[in-house]
Structure 1
Amino acid sequence: MCRLLVMFVMFLIPAWALGAPIEIAGRATVVDGDTLAVNQKRVRLWGIDAPESAQQCADPHGKPWPCGRRAANALDAWLQGRTVRCVQRDVDRYGRSVAECLVQGDSVNAWMVRSGWAVAYREYATAYVGAEQLARTGKRNLWQGAFQMPADYRRAQRAMQGEDTRAARVPPPGCRIKGNISSAGARIFHLPGQRDYEQTRIQLHNGERWFCSAEEATAAGWRAAKR
């Protein structure tokens, strides 16, 4: 009776609570160089860091090339729609499963680093440091020229966005005219006191800006708001 009760209780307890590895298996879709979608679940490849989708690297001659996009394309071409089996090691702050994924026994994580499409993410694991050294020595892909570590790239982007946000919120001294771009692409400037001035928000990354005078705004190709 006791044995049956124990078995019943174990049946009710989820696998993760018993220490059993959680596995996600199925055909994978590439989200980016270190993220897959498997059975409608996002899986972050454990222990590696690939360049961001918009990240550029430099070739041996210093010419920029889209390494983030190429890394994702290389991963997609290597997987060829094959079934992956991912063994979860953690869950990140975005709720994604962090896992090592295998294709017919080959580690996807190791392949990305060994091929020079990702680096060992030493902040979380050192399992792929040796694979990274092979790629570096062979000057494979990312290592053919200069590039910024993906983690450093993300930090720099966040810092820039923070500066842009503050600059968009706080005008330069004496320059309180808001140059706004409408959804239709019209460039319109708003003077303090006009109807839409307070609700207008400046988004520097979209090309909007502050002006110091109506004359400056007009000379730059912007027209005055009617009200």
Structure 2
Amino acid sequence: MRLPLIIALTLLASTFPALPADLIGRASIIDGDTLELHGTRVRLWGIDAPESAQLCRNSDSDLYRCGAKAANDLDAFIARRPVSCTAVALDQYGRTVATCTVGGVDLGEWLVGHGLALDWPHYSHGRYSAAQNGAKRAGRGSWAGSLVAPWLCRACIRARGRPGGCSDDASAHP
């Protein structure tokens, strides 16, 4: 009676993709919330950074590429130091979703705390809300001006079929 149960559990377990082991090494920055380590795409858990071409407004209401800024600032912060990632899940695109650190600093918390990404409560359950509130109060990063939440920007692009008017550039591209 136990043998069929063991066989059934083994077959069931083999149908789910395995999470990769912890990843440690030099990372390449893909965008503000995605890295690549040893050929593995890693999506940072619990946050969402603006899309690479997404536009935000700074404190003077001038447009800037906030997604590119997030990626560049993350790259500068990591500064070729080793990144350590612990896998949490696989996303719908097959990327590893993980929490990652550099020198003991959680990259998700660092990005959110510097106003370069948003706490994504749908996934994080508020894990980075304190960092986001601090960035908001201090006017750091995109909180110095205005932005459209990245998940809303992507939904707009899917609905419209084009990016114009989906970031904070609505008046520039009606």
TM bucket normalised to smaller: 0.7 to 0.9
Q: Distance in 1 between matches of 2:105 and 2:60?
A: 34
Q: Bigger shift: 57-66 or 91-100?
A: 57-66
Q: Given residue 160 of structure 1, which amino acid in structure 2 is its aligned partner? A: R
* 1:86-134 per-position Cα deviation (integer Å, ceiling 9, x unaligned): 0011110111110000112111111001111001011101210111001
> Structure 1: which 4+ aligned runs deviate by more than 2 Å?
19-22
Show the 5 A alignment for 1:112-151. 112-125=111-124, 126-151=126-151
Deviation at residue 21 of structure 1 after TM alignment = 8.6
Percentage identity across paired residues of the two chains = 40
Q: Given residue 137 of structure 2, which amino acid in structure 1 is its aligned partner? A: T
Aligned to 1:60: 59
Q: Structure 1 regions of 5+ residues with no counterpart?
A: 1-12, 163-227
Q: Distance in 1 between matches of 2:59 and 2:84?
A: 36
Aligned to 2:171: none
Q: Given residue 78 of structure 1, which amino acid in structure 2 is its aligned partner? A: F
Aligned to 1:90: 89
Aligned to 2:21: 22
Deviation at residue 37 of structure 1 after TM alignment = 0.3
Deviation at residue 20 of structure 1 after TM alignment = 9.6
Deviation at residue 61 of structure 1 after TM alignment = 2.4
> 2:19·2:90 contact (CA, 8 Å) conserved in 1?
no
| Residues 38 and 21 of structure 1: CA distance in aligned 2, closer, same or farther (over 3 Å) | closer
The DSSP-based 3-state class of the residue aligned with 2:53 is coil
* 1:150-191 per-position Cα deviation (integer Å, ceiling 9, x unaligned): 0000000111118xxxxxxxxxxxxxxxxxxxxxxxxxxxxx
Q: Distance in 2 between matches of 1:158 and 1:77?
A: 31
The DSSP-based 3-state class of the residue aligned with 1:53 is coil
Deviation at residue 59 of structure 1 after TM alignment = 1.3
Show the 5 A alignment for 1:1-227. 22-125=21-124, 126-161=126-161
Q: Structure 2 regions of 5+ residues with no counterpart?
A: 1-12, 163-174
Across the two proteins, how many residue pairs are aligned to each other?
A: 148
Structure label with greater radius of gyration = 1
| Residues 25 and 62 of structure 1: CA distance in aligned 2, closer, same or farther (over 3 Å) | same
> 2:19·2:87 contact (CA, 8 Å) conserved in 1?
no
* 1:41-65 per-position Cα deviation (integer Å, ceiling 9, x unaligned): 0000000100000100011222111
RMSD over aligned Cα, in angstroms? 2.1
What TM-score, normalized by structure 1, do the two folds share? 0.62
Q: Distance in 1 between matches of 2:55 and 2:120?
A: 19
Q: Given residue 148 of structure 1, which amino acid in structure 2 is its aligned partner? A: V
Q: Distance in 2 between matches of 1:122 and 1:82?
A: 29
